[in-house]
Amino acid sequence: MPPSFFSFERMNQRHSLVRRLSDLPYACHGLHTMPEVNPTPSPTPIVQKTGAQMTGAQAVVASLLRHGITTGFGIPSIHNIALYEALRQTSEFHHWVVRHEQAAGFAADGFYRRSGKIAVIFASTGPGNLFTLVPLLESLQTGIPVLLIGTNIASSLLAGTGGALHETPEQLEIIRPLTRFARRVTRPDEIGEVFAQAAEILRGPLPGPAFIEIPHDFLLAPVNASLPEAEATAKPDHVAPAPETDRAAQLIAESRKPTILLGSGVRAAIAAVRQFAELLHCPVFTTTSGKGMFPGDHPLSLGCISRLGAVQEMFLESDLLISFGARLTEFDTGRFGLKLPPQHIQVVEDSRYPGDRVPSTRVVGDIAATAKALAQRIQPRALWCDIAAIKAREAQRLEALLQESYTALKLVRASMHRNDVLANDQSILNYWASAFFPVLEPGTFLYPLGSGTLGYALPAAIGAACAMRQANDARKVVCIAGDGGFQYTQHELATLAQYGLPVKILLVNDESYGVIAFLQRSMFGQTHEITLKNPDFCRVAEAYGIRAERVTSIAALEQRMPDWLNAPGPALLEWRTVLKAPWETGAIPRPTGIAPKSS
């Protein structure tokens, strides 16, 4: 059904107010309106008016709906309130207000990772747009399609410089390197065309962020051009495999001990890749961002490559690595110290995705079609190693380390359903989770591998929770963060409380930047500026009306975990402890250049 348009006359009644607001000398990008507690669509009836004139704001919302984008995160601003008036009248669109544009970006990222659906970030000229840079970096490096709709100063002021509210020199060019598509709307009538171009990139073979910049006066201007129809985005079933498939099939036939590596790029090809793996009958690994693309409890699964030790032993014995939709990162490979098998077939949908640091035989094309074509050219094999025995030896070794991090993750995994979601920040416990937390389903392990940023977990968990609420999915969302990283986006407790999102936060508090302390001790023998003066996190959560409690031992954590996870609404469990980094304990071999400092 085509999207509904809004009455231009009804918008006219508010234009004089908007123009008066734009003249205020102290207007700021964070001018807020209080939304409903739940983003229930407005009951205002929307009537399709064929050929009726729209405003730019109406054209933006209609274009979003036309391209199947029905969710957004953002903050109303003096420059984008015309958009919010259009959103107010749009029953098909779900908007979630956050407390910072950075959080909007991470929430859109988490929304997609959980649901596979694109979400919008609504931001405003200057500060609002610039606050999204780190989320855009994260989404760019992990191939997550998100759409940033940001305003600019009025079109009549763009030719000059100086004095305009929120004016930011070269705003478009600042943001462009962190996107796959960035374009300014130069006249109201091209809004539909620009959105169509962005949608093509967002759903193309190399997805990532798109940025559409709109001078704020265009949102109130009339749009006379009709909106282009959305083109079909589904890939045809008959997509031919890449031309390099013949060479790849030959290498596979010649190998005796193949291994497989899956990254997040296989999201749309999971069934075909799994069928190929089961036919080849060999060990299957994932990258951190690919965790869940192959079930962690599958008999062929050997977990994530970030744990290095057992992975390196297998790679040294293997003669061929076949990777699908995987990007080999410094984090996962121990600063690129992981030695790969002598032959590496790298199947990707776009040659730019994996980068050029790792030599390989590239197979560029549709991943599902390529996996199916390779499966047709190989014979079923016997397993060349005892995966169950390898897992058992590693588990025994980890148990012998007597580390609370490993014990805590086992408790969390045992308490979660296989479809529950774990959103990670960057802390000691999250590094353990990357290496050793079994992930059983796709879209259930969110990790900021693209940027390595702090502050990702809470807003990403919010995005996942919003996706699940809209889908009537009652599974749990768990957020694990350290005390340092949590304070980057702690303000989003307000968003949790406002919407009653049932995110469960496990906050590990060692009152320091624990990983940095480990690195400083390893490299310099001393620590500096890593001690933190923290608030009482439980009282902070309770100030928002969020249930909170504190434990100080692993025994108490085990005892309180069921009640915390099953509590209605959001809940915070603070665990005061001092954990050791996995590299410090020997759980993971130390990466290149991080040897213990001799005394």
- Whole-number Å distance between alpha carbons of 537 and 509: 9
592: in domain: no
Which tens digits make up the pLDDT trace of 99-138?
999 999 999 999 999 999 999 999 999 999 999 999 999 9
- Whole-number Å distance between alpha carbons of 154 and 344: 52
445: in domain: yes
207 and 86 housed in the same domain: yes
Eight-class DSSP state of 595: P
Domain boundary among 339, 361, 388: 388
Task: Name the token pair of 139.
Answer: 């989404």
pLDDT at 239: 64
- Whole-number Å distance between alpha carbons of 14 and 41: 21
Neighbours of 248 (CB within 10 A): 24
185 and 308 housed in the same domain: no
307: in domain: yes
333 and 380 housed in the same domain: yes
Q: How confident is the model at residue 599 (pLDDT cuts 50, 70, 90)?
A: low
pLDDT above 60 (res 21): no
Q: How confident is the model at residue 15 (pLDDT cuts 50, 70, 90)?
A: very low
- Whole-number Å distance between alpha carbons of 538 and 190: 50
CA 335 to chain centroid: 22
Domain span at residue 353 reads: 245-388
Task: Name the token pair of 495.
Answer: 């968003």
Strand partners, 576: 509
197 and 277 housed in the same domain: no
| Domain CATH number, residue 299 | 3.40.50.1220
- Please give the tally of structural domains in the chain: 3
Query: SS3 of 12, please?
Result: helix
pLDDT at 292: 98
Q: What are phi and psi of 65, to 5 degrees?
A: -65, -40
pLDDT at 357: 87
pLDDT at 452: 93
411: in domain: yes
Give the pairing of strands 222-223 and 54-55: antiparallel
pLDDT at 546: 98
pLDDT above 90 (res 363): yes
pLDDT above 60 (res 182): yes
Print burial letters for 24-60: b (CB count within 10 Å at least 16), e (below 16). Answer: eeeeebebeeebeeebebeeeebeeeeeeebbbbbbb
Show Cβ contacts of residue 319 under 8 Å, excluding neighbours closer than 6 positions: 255, 256, 257, 258, 341, 342, 343
* Phi/psi-derived region of residue 335, left when phi > 0, alpha when psi is between -120 and 50, beta in every other case: left
Domain boundary among 166, 190, 223: 223
- Whole-number Å distance between alpha carbons of 447 and 214: 31
376 and 405 housed in the same domain: no
- Whole-number Å distance between alpha carbons of 88 and 101: 20
pLDDT at 2: 38
- Whole-number Å distance between alpha carbons of 597 and 287: 30
pLDDT above 90 (res 34): no
pLDDT at 12: 40
pLDDT above 90 (res 33): no
Q: How confident is the model at residue 597 (pLDDT cuts 50, 70, 90)?
A: low
pLDDT at 227: 87
- Whole-number Å distance between alpha carbons of 482 and 139: 22
Task: Name the token pair of 580.
Answer: 């050791």
pLDDT at 355: 83
230: in domain: no
Residues found in the chain: 599
- Whole-number Å distance between alpha carbons of 599 and 594: 15
Mean pLDDT on 145-163: 95
pLDDT at 9: 37
Strand partners, 48: none
57 and 203 housed in the same domain: yes
Query: SS3 of 344, please?
Result: strand
Neighbours of 506 (CB within 10 A): 22
DSSP calls for 166-185: T--TTHHHHHGGG-SEEEE-
Beta carbons of 515 and 431 less than 8 angstroms apart: yes
Beta carbons of 55 and 9 less than 8 angstroms apart: no
- Whole-number Å distance between alpha carbons of 34 and 155: 29
379 and 405 housed in the same domain: no
Q: How confident is the model at residue 226 (pLDDT cuts 50, 70, 90)?
A: confident
477 and 556 housed in the same domain: yes
pLDDT at 14: 37
pLDDT at 24: 37
* Phi/psi-derived region of residue 68, left when phi > 0, alpha when psi is between -120 and 50, beta in every other case: left
Of 371, 367, 348, 370, nearest to 358 (Cα)?
Answer: 348
331 and 373 housed in the same domain: yes
Which tens digits make up the pLDDT trace of 81-104?
999 999 999 999 999 999 999 999
pLDDT at 598: 61
Q: How confident is the model at residue 22 (pLDDT cuts 50, 70, 90)?
A: very low
Neighbours of 96 (CB within 10 A): 26
- Whole-number Å distance between alpha carbons of 358 and 330: 11
Side chain identity, residue 223: V
360: in domain: yes
Of 428, 14, 481, 507, nearest to 220 (Cα)?
Answer: 14
pLDDT at 463: 98
Beta carbons of 500 and 567 less than 8 angstroms apart: no
Give the pairing of strands 120-123 and 147-152: parallel
**CA quadruple 266, 272, 274, 277: dihedral positive or negative?**
negative
pLDDT at 346: 96
| Domain CATH number, residue 87 | 3.40.50.970
Mean pLDDT on 258-270: 96
Query: SS3 of 407, please?
Result: helix
pLDDT above 50 (res 229): yes
Mean pLDDT on 348-355: 89
Place of tokens 């073979």: 205
82 and 209 housed in the same domain: yes
Domain boundary among 388, 413, 443: 388
Side chain identity, residue 35: P
379 and 409 housed in the same domain: no
Eight-class DSSP state of 291: T
Inter-CA distances, 134 with 213, 323, 486, 566, Å: 18, 28, 16, 33
Which tens digits make up the pLDDT trace of 62-81?
999 999 999 999 999 999 99
Cα angle value 130/210/208 (rounded, 5°): 105
70 and 160 housed in the same domain: yes
Task: Name the token pair of 497.
Answer: 């409380």
Of 99, 214, 139, 21, nearest to 497 (Cα)?
Answer: 99
Give the pairing of strands 54-55 and 147-152: unpaired
Q: How confident is the model at residue 313 (pLDDT cuts 50, 70, 90)?
A: very high
Mean pLDDT on 39-50: 38
pLDDT at 16: 40
pLDDT at 233: 54
Crossing angle for the helix pair 387-400 and 309-317, to the nearest 10 degrees: 150
Query: SS3 of 69, please?
Result: coil
Which tens digits make up the pLDDT trace of 458-511?
999 999 999 999 999 999 999 999 999 999 999 999 999 999 999 999 999 999
Of 222, 161, 226, nearest to 187 (Cα)?
Answer: 222
Q: Mean pLDDT for the chain?
A: 90
- Whole-number Å distance between alpha carbons of 599 and 595: 12
- Whole-number Å distance between alpha carbons of 223 and 147: 22
Side chain identity, residue 162: G
At CB < 8 A and 24+ separation, what contacts does 535-543 make?
537/483, 537/486, 537/507, 537/509, 537/572, 537/574, 538/572, 538/574, 540/490, 540/493, 541/493, 541/505, 541/572
